[in-house]
């Protein structure tokens, strides 16, 4: 594919993302680039992204090496361009937070649908957060940046990756990282959209890991409540009730108690059974 590189969209610690134009179609692309000799992580990301096809996941357009004018060889991941930036950008443009809860619910539903698909493909994203979700030309939220993602298996994953403020307790303790930890991160992302900042934004990463890994700290700082408080949540209406349910269940301290998250925002019925709230159809 022939393309011309344009302005820089973002620069991280490992790669640079620029806008580009495809010569054949005039389609705008987002190109993530890094020097070839340091591109193992980006090649892994390209392999995972190339296996995915969902309206709620950033589109894969290809991957190739290129010799730059200065002689440096780069590896380039070509993706769909999202003109409205990330959810973090959108939050900032809305005065630091979304005033309309309906927008938070809309974006959250789309993130959850994207995650449901990703998980069905045997992949855990491992770094869900506002800055890794982009808004497309149609205004849809799409999950992006699969640099920390991994194929899910039954073995122990020795390498923990992601952003401390969005990590689930079991991840912060170095125990397990997988689909359930993605669900927790959705709850953190909702907090980011509603309040304008993620949990523990101003703390050092090591301090965040310690506090997230401690159940008492999570209970105090993440607004997590016991499942019995779902009865109080039943008194809420509409979008407020949806968001309350989502955070209640996505941020459950016991990872196996985190519900099938798409159902949380699809309006299920709830009932008490054996002292626990369960979902019934």
263 is catalytic: no
Closest CA to 170 of 178, 112, 123, 246: 178
Question: Could you tell me the sign of the dihedral formed by the alpha carbons of 211, 12, 3, 47, in that order?
Answer: negative
The residue count for the chain? 281
Six-digit token string for 8? 């820089």
Q: Can you tell me which residue has the tokens 């941020």?
A: 251
3-state DSSP assignment of residue 141: strand
Of 26, 127, 244, 263, the active-site residue reads: 127
- The residues with which 141 forms a beta bridge, in sequence order, are 135
Distance CA 121, CA 115 (A): 10
3-state DSSP assignment of residue 167: coil
Confirm or deny that 32 is annotated as ligand binding: yes
Inter-residue long-range contacts of 66-74, CB under 8 Å, 24+ positions, other chains counted: 72/35, 73/35, 73/36, 73/37, 74/33, 74/34, 74/35, 74/36, 74/39
Closest CA to 197 of 112, 110, 88: 88
Phi and psi of 10, rounded to 5°? -170, 155
Distances in Å between the alpha carbon of 59 and those of 36, 81, 280? 22, 8, 35
Question: Could you tell me the sign of the dihedral formed by the alpha carbons of 163, 168, 171, 176, in that order?
Answer: negative
**Which residues are annotated binding-site positions?**
32
- Any idea which residues carry the catalytic annotation? 127
Residues annotated within a binding site for ATP: 32
């Amino acid at each position: 594919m022939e393309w011309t590189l344009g302005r820089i969209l973002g620069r991280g610690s490992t790669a640079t993302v620029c806008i580009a134009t495809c010569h054949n179609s005039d389609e705008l692309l987002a190109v993530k680039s890094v020097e070839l000799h340091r591109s193992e992580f980006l090649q892994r990301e390209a392999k995972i992204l190339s296996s995915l096809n969902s309206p709620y996941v950033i589109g894969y357009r290809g991957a190739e090496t290129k010799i730059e004018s200065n002689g440096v060889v780069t590896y380039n991941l070509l993706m769909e361009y999202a003109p409205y930036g990330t959810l973090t950008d959108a939050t900032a443009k809305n005065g630091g937070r979304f005033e309309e809860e309906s927008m938070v619910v809309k974006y959250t539903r789309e993130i959850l649908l994207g995650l449901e698909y990703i998980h069905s493909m045997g992949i855990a994203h491992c770094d869900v957060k506002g800055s890794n979700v982009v808004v497309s030309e149609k205004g849809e939220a799409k999950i992006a940046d699969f640099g920390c993602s991994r194929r899910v298996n039954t073995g122990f994953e020795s390498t923990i990756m992601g952003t401390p403020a969005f990590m689930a307790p079991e991840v912060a303790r170095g125990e397990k990282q997988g689909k359930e930890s993605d669900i927790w991160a959705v709850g953190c992302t909702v907090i980011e959209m509603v309040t304008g900042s993620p949990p523990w934004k101003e703390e050092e990463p090591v301090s965040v890991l310690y506090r997230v890994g401690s159940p008492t700290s999570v209970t105090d700082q993440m607004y997590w409540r016991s499942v019995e408080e779902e009865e109080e949540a039943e008194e809420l209406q509409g979008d407020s009730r949806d968001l309350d349910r989502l955070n209640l269940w996505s941020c459950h301290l016991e990872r196996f108690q985190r519900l099938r998250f798409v159902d949380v925002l699809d309006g299920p019925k709830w009932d008490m059974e054996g002292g626990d709230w369960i979902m019934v159809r």
